[in-house]
Structure 1
């Protein structure tokens, strides 16, 4: 935004300090005038007599000369030049001292401005790290450092996401191109298998594109908030994925209380569905179990999804929300998904001002806890 040039903050503070010092000096001199000079008479009516004709004795002090008592005009004539000199000195001292004092006070702001200019050029690794005890400037610097750290992490995450998404989207396109080249060079090849392979690859590309769109929508928070019951969303997701669980020999158990919150019903159902799908796919080969529980807290509601499965370390669990992470092994099956399930869950949770916690179960498997703000009481 174009702005007209103006005075610097340091100059404004300098003039403020000097002006305040001048006003304080003028008030002090006014106090001297009011409470001291007003007691001096304008004209001395009866001057004291002088002593004359008294003989002087050797060894004694000389007799005093004529005593003169100044009146108000005399004192004012002697006082006014000193007042003018004092005001000039206060002005010079205030300007010099105010300039130095303003410079030292604004030094942290200069460092913050330099860091801001570096950030605008794309250098997000720079930090202010302002020393000293806490004050307003240090709180601002610490907040700016925190913002830079989050921006740097977000930028790195977006770069990894773009690279992974490009790789994932390029893979089905490359496979499709290969199949088409083989079919073109071999006219006698069975087209039925070719169409089946192309259909499978195209379906996976569509699923990946839809997942990217859902992730983008969650990050932009472009949705209308409405009352949503997490327990009903859990039941809907369980009914939808029950055939998949039965096909794998798994059991789904749902329990809990009514958990009302505010948000997008479509996105929250997608959140529960992704969690349940992830719990089914990454489970034991047979006789596994998935538990879905909803809980109510004083200021929030919780959705807990647990599943049996292989043992995970806390380090592995911490990376599962990264895009295109599929647990300890990147094995693709018919229902393995596109690697964005938990990444979408994380984005939807953050878009609803909630928290997502992933904890490995001691006996194997994973416990995922989603905590969202409770719906305000009407």
Structure 2
């Protein structure tokens, strides 16, 4: 927005300080004059220049002497107010100058700079600290996005490279089995589609632009368990659901996707035989929880801490059928954050993983469908 040039804040503050000091000086001198001349007759307040000898009378010399002295004092106060106000305004606005410089550096893409304003807490320091925290979050977010973009590019390049290799082999060998080639290309293409859809879902979940309604996590758990039951039976896994109603406010499709990802992850990354998945829900202390546990290989806390990163897999989480896109827990984390919730991953003592989703409970006055 184009704006006409104006006075700087420092000049405005300087003139304000000087003006206030002048008004205070005038009032002080006026009060002093009234106090000193309180016992004098009214005629002595105005000098009589027609009778010079009388004007030399001490009682009639007050206005003549007091006027120049008052003018000199006001002139001194004006100069003192301008100089002192300029210095004082500069000291007062120095934190704002540092904040402005940091803002300009951030606008050029330099997010590593911090203001780190010293001194005791006040309004400027609160602003500087809030700006530092914002820069820290922005820097972390940009770094995460760059890392995610690099990983996504690598993951998307893999199926394309595999397709190219398969086509090159088929071109070089005219007697190649066409049906097998089509089948393998179909599988590679499906993986590329699944990965693309996961990337779209990941970006949408982070935008928080979705309709909110009352959603019962216990019903979502039952729906996800029913949907993935064929996969669990195929792999010899058992799914057990339990718990109480847990009503939250959010997007039913996103929360269902979250629950499905957790259950799918628990089924796929489990014991080779006779694995179990436990799904429990509950409500307490103004929050609702959804917990998904599974048997599986032992995991260390360090390994668990990396599982929510995009395209990260833990021990024995190798590629195979139904292995997913590597975005399952990353999508879950993004959906949880979009619903002002938290996701906690804990390794089980006997092996496997425990994932707990905690969301704010739906207020009693919130009505709507509880799907």
Compute the TM-score of the two structures, normalised by the length of structure 1.
Answer: 0.91
Residue equivalent to 1:353: 340
Q: Which runs of 5+ in 1 are unaligned?
A: 45-67
Alpha-carbon distance in 2 for matches of 1:316, 1:4: 58
Alpha-carbon distance in 2 for matches of 1:21, 1:363: 77
Higher deviation after alignment, 196-205 or 22-31: 22-31
1:161 aligns with 2:122: no
Residue equivalent to 2:51: none
Alignment of 1:307-326 (within 5 A): 307-326=294-313
Higher deviation after alignment, 147-156 or 361-370: 361-370
1:87 aligns with 2:82: no
Residue equivalent to 2:253: 266
Residue equivalent to 1:282: 269
Q: Deviations over 1:6-52 (max 9, x none)?
A: 111111111111111111111111211233323222458xxxxxxxx
User: 1:289: how far off?
Assistant: 1.7
Residue equivalent to 1:38: 38
Alpha-carbon distance in 2 for matches of 1:27, 1:297: 66
Alignment of 1:1-378 (within 5 A): 1-42=1-42, 70-71=58-59, 73-378=60-365
Q: CA RMSD in A?
A: 1.4
Alpha-carbon distance in 1 for matches of 2:162, 2:358: 41
User: 1:222: how far off?
Assistant: 2.2
User: 1:336: how far off?
Assistant: 0.8
Alpha-carbon distance in 1 for matches of 2:267, 2:139: 35
Compared with structure 1, are the counterparts of its residues 159 and 123 closer, same or farther at alpha carbon in structure 2 (3 Å cutoff)? same
Which of the two has higher C-alpha Rg?
A: 1
User: 1:2: how far off?
Assistant: 2.0
Alpha-carbon distance in 2 for matches of 1:10, 1:43: 47
Alpha-carbon distance in 2 for matches of 1:37, 1:363: 97
Which SS does the other structure have where 1:254 is aligned?
Answer: strand
Higher deviation after alignment, 238-247 or 205-214: 238-247
User: 1:329: how far off?
Assistant: 4.4
Alpha-carbon distance in 2 for matches of 1:195, 1:302: 45
Alpha-carbon distance in 2 for matches of 1:69, 1:299: 87
Which SS does the other structure have where 2:206 is aligned?
Answer: helix
Alpha-carbon distance in 2 for matches of 1:315, 1:34: 82
In the TM superposition, structure 1's runs of 4+ consecutive aligned residues that sit over 6 Å from their partners are: none
Which SS does the other structure have where 1:283 is aligned?
Answer: coil
Alpha-carbon distance in 1 for matches of 2:81, 2:187: 81
Q: Deviations over 1:329-349 (max 9, x none)?
A: 451010110100001001111
Say if 2:288 and 2:359, in contact at 8 Å, map to a contact too: yes
User: 1:285: how far off?
Assistant: 1.2
Higher deviation after alignment, 232-241 or 348-357: 348-357
Alpha-carbon distance in 1 for matches of 2:149, 2:260: 25
Alpha-carbon distance in 2 for matches of 1:199, 1:32: 99
Compared with structure 1, are the counterparts of its residues 247 and 103 closer, same or farther at alpha carbon in structure 2 (3 Å cutoff)? same
Alpha-carbon distance in 1 for matches of 2:11, 2:232: 73
Tell me how many residue pairs correspond in the alignment: 354
Which SS does the other structure have where 1:193 is aligned?
Answer: helix
